[in-house]
Amino acid sequence: MAEDVLKSIREKQILEYARDRLSPYIYVSEIDERSSEARLGLMIQDGIVDHETDEFRIRTVKLSDIGSLRWSRSPRGKIQFRGSTRTQLVKNTNDLYSSIINRSQQLLLTSLYVKLVTIDTVSVAMKPFKKILVSLEESEHEIVAVHDFGQKLSDKKRQRIPQYFNLLRELGYIERVGDGKYTVGNAMSNLKADSIESSRLYAMILADVIRRRSKYLQQVLHLTMIVPFLRWSNSYYFPSYEADRLVKMHDKEIIANCRRYYGVRTDEETAKSQLQSMVERDIFTRDASGNYRGIDQTFEEYKSSADRDAILAPIPVS
Amino acid sequence: MALSVTSEVRKPYLDGKNGIDVSEVTAYFKFQALPNSCVPTCIHNVLKALAASHRYPPIALSERRVNQLCRYRLNFGPIMNDIVSNMKGAIRSFGYAAYAGAHMTYGTLAKVIDDKEGSYPVIELSHKYLDDRCDSTEDSTSENPPDHVVIVLCSDPNETIIFDPFDTRNKVMRKLPDRIGRGLYLMPTGQIMEYWDKAFRSWAFWIGRLSRKTRGTTRSTVLEQYPVNSEAK
């Protein structure tokens, strides 16, 4: 009992210090009397708008370990605190919050990649992969050579062609048969055995490439066309997940979420045009008042993987 | 300026400072853009009201400037300890000073409201206020949830009129029977004091006018009038 009282007094002392000097949204996640140290958490408040019910709800995401404070007694017996600065806490918080946002985005990708690949700008970016697959299909012996590709391209773009081949080989869609020559791989043969129609087959392969190698596509091959669409999706579906239902959002709210999650500004016209192409690909629906709503099946898939991953559970720094 | 509580229909509701209709006073008040921006939003609003009543536009600092002075950061909110010193530095040359206090008495609050030379007070209310009134959070089980702040426009021992910057965002709040206008609520003073008392610091903030005699020094009329626990930490 006395221990509980001491803990409560200590917590109040720490909070009085931390909430006045660091943030009113700090909480104490752990107190260790032996080492005179407390771990600090932060309550991030997400505002979620739902035009369906005309509600603005606050959902708190707790980051349980963004820094620490140690205490000691001065010679006069006054309690003194030392520890993480606000700058350090902000950095840790940004890192942790970004990891939640990125994890959510990754989970969403697995539910959306088949649809995302059909968006025009994404499909253009993925064209080199499609050309390789189509050439294989059309060639007499199902063999293609790297040097047959990219003759009209600039040097810079031509240099990337072996990387496209390598990526498809790595995923088992093509197989090397000689110096710079490739044929159909096991993964593609298996899909073909299922008598999937060609255009759907290509879409499935391209979607799989995006799903399994999105980081490589963006950071090495610089195919970043998919990024804004993933961000828009996450800026809608993540708050819906926090609200535990598909909410109705206006484009300005999706744009504001995107800015808050990723720190990027997008002009309204570009945003609207990209959101429109996502409506056309059945990633959202939009009603006559301009409110966007997600798709039930996509949300259910994303929700079950997000639940499994416990993306909103407090996560520690280390 | 005290409210009459005898009549059911008593529009217009007047503020406690200048006897102006509260809906007129708050017509240009802003609502918080983010869940944790209630403090800078309220400070910005009271400065605007002060600028209007004193016919002195420079005191109406922009929202951006108030955010800077409060050291507001996304997800972190303001630094409570820095608000008063930073605000003081910014408004001193205009002849004003900023004050904050913890565990202030109701009498002091009433005097701040009454003082035509100063701003409306901003007070901190316990998180329970939001839990009770707008069903806005899912985190009430947390032991020390963050508090909320509102502006007090008028108060007598029976009833108090507040402006809540969270108002327009919440449907449940907008349907409350004590809502008397855009962002405005008429609540029992006892209830407001309870929420204020249960807040983490029971914080209050206001802007006062430096007296002619003491302008340019560190003392102000407000501070001289209300010395009880009201000086900023």
Strand partners, A26: A42
Residue that wins the pLDDT comparison between B31 and B140:
B31
Is residue A165's pLDDT more than 60?
yes
- Per the domain annotation, does B115 fall within a domain? yes
Strand partners, A79: A73
Give me the number of domains chain B comprises. 1
| CB-CB contact of B79 with A85 (8 Å) | no
Report pLDDT for B233.
33
CA distance A223 to A240: 28
Across A86-99, average pLDDT: 92
Query: In degrees, to the nearest 5, what angle opens at C-alpha B48 toward C-alphas B146 and B33?
Result: 40
Give the residue from chain B lying closest to A51, CA to CA: B171
Residue that wins the pLDDT comparison between A54 and B104:
B104
- Per the domain annotation, does B57 fall within a domain? yes
Is residue B184's pLDDT more than 80?
yes
Tell me the chain A residues in contact with residue B124 when contact means C-beta distances shorter than 8 Å: none
Report pLDDT for A67.
94
Strand locations in B13-155, DSSP E? 96-102, 122-125, 148-155
Asked if B77 and A58 come within 8 Å (Cβ–Cβ), the reply is: no
| Three-state SS at B6 | coil
**Chain A contacts in chain B segment 20-49 (CB below 8 A):** 34-36, 39
Residue where the block lists tokens 């959070």 = B137
Q: Is A27's Cβ below 8 Å from some Cβ in B?
A: yes
Q: Is residue A315 very low, low, confident or very high in pLDDT (cuts 50, 70, 90)?
A: low
Q: Does the reported pTM lie above 0.90? A: no
B-interface mutation test, from A60, A255, A258, A261, most B Cβ less than 10 A away: A60
Residue type, B167: D
CA distance B25 to A115: 52
Q: What is the distance of C-alpha A255 from the center of its chain? A: 16
Asked if B146 and A47 come within 8 Å (Cβ–Cβ), the reply is: no
CA distance A81 to A67: 13
Query: In degrees, to the nearest 5, what angle opens at C-alpha B33 toward C-alphas A56 and A266?
Result: 100
| Three-state SS at A244 | coil
Is the peptide bond between B12 and the residue preceding it cis, with omega within 30 degrees of 0? Answer: yes
Give the residue from chain A lying closest to B138, CA to CA: A59
Both tokens of B113, joined, read 């409201």
- Per the domain annotation, does B130 fall within a domain? yes
CA distance B71 to A22: 10
Report pLDDT for B143.
63
How close A310 comes to chain B (CA, Å)? Answer: 17
- Fold classification of A108-118+225-309 (topology level): Arc Repressor Mutant, subunit A (1.10.10)
Closest CA to B46 of B194, B149, B171, B141: B149
How close B172 comes to chain A (CA, Å)? Answer: 8
- Looking at the partner chain, which of B74, B77, B130 has a beta carbon nearest the beta carbon of A24? B77
- Per the domain annotation, does B71 fall within a domain? yes
| Three-state SS at B26 | coil
- Per the domain annotation, does B9 fall within a domain? no
Residue where the block lists tokens 């484009």 = A251
CA distance A188 to A168: 10
Tell me the chain B residues in contact with residue A44 when contact means C-beta distances shorter than 8 Å: 75
| Three-state SS at A250 | strand
Is residue B140's pLDDT more than 50?
no
- Looking at the partner chain, which of B75, B81, B144 has a beta carbon nearest the beta carbon of A93? B75
For residue B87, the domain's CATH number is 3.90.70.10
The sheet that has A249-250: what strands, in order across it? Answer: A249-250, A291-294, A284-286
Q: A2-6, A100-104, A110-114, A296-300: which has the highest mean pLDDT?
A: A296-300
Q: Is residue A161 very low, low, confident or very high in pLDDT (cuts 50, 70, 90)?
A: confident
A-interface mutation test, from B76, B198, B205, most A Cβ less than 10 A away: B76
According to CATH, where is 1.10.10.10 located in chain A?
108-118+225-309, 127-219
A-interface mutation test, from B71, B75, B125, B142, most A Cβ less than 10 A away: B75
Across A206-224, average pLDDT: 79
Q: What is the distance of C-alpha B185 from the center of its chain? A: 13
| CB-CB contact of B50 with B25 (8 Å) | no
Model confidence over B18-42: pLDDT tens digits?
889 999 999 999 999 888 899 999 9
- Looking at the partner chain, which of B36, B130, B201 has a beta carbon nearest the beta carbon of A25? B36
Strand partners, B170: none
Is the peptide bond between B35 and the residue preceding it cis, with omega within 30 degrees of 0? Answer: no
If one counts every other C-beta atom within 10 angstroms of the C-beta of residue A22, the result is: 26
Q: Is B76's Cβ below 8 Å from some Cβ in A?
A: yes
Q: Is A15's Cβ below 8 Å from some Cβ in B?
A: yes
Is residue A140's pLDDT more than 70?
yes
Across A150-154, average pLDDT: 72
- Per the domain annotation, does B21 fall within a domain? no
Residue type, B169: R
Contacts for A182-187: CB closer than 8 Å, 24+ residues apart = A182/A132, A182/A136, A182/A143, A182/A144, A182/A145, A182/A146, A183/A136, A183/A141, A183/A142, A183/A143, A183/A144, A184/A136, A184/A142
The one-character DSSP state at B93 is G
| Bridging pattern class, strands A284-286 and A291-294 | antiparallel
How close A188 comes to chain B (CA, Å)? Answer: 47
Q: Is residue B217 very low, low, confident or very high in pLDDT (cuts 50, 70, 90)?
A: very low
Both tokens of A157, joined, read 């773009």
Model confidence over A298-311: pLDDT tens digits?
999 999 999 998 88
CATH of A127-219, one of 3.90.550.10, 1.10.10.10, 1.10.645.10, 2.60.40.10: 1.10.10.10
Asked if B146 and A86 come within 8 Å (Cβ–Cβ), the reply is: no
Domain that residue B171 falls in:
27-225
Residue that wins the pLDDT comparison between B211 and A247:
A247
| CB-CB contact of A117 with A210 (8 Å) | yes
Is residue A296's pLDDT more than 90?
yes
H or E element, residue A30: strand A26-32
Contacts for A281-290: CB closer than 8 Å, 24+ residues apart = A281/A115, A281/A116, A281/A118, A281/A119, A282/A115, A283/A112, A283/A115, A283/A116, A283/A229, A283/A233, A284/A236, A287/A248, A289/A51, A290/A250, A290/A251
How close A84 comes to chain B (CA, Å)? Answer: 14
Give the residue from chain B lying closest to A58, CA to CA: B137
With both helix axes pointing from N to C terminus, report the angle between B80-91 and B38-53 in degrees, rounded to the nearest 10: 20
How close A307 comes to chain B (CA, Å)? Answer: 17
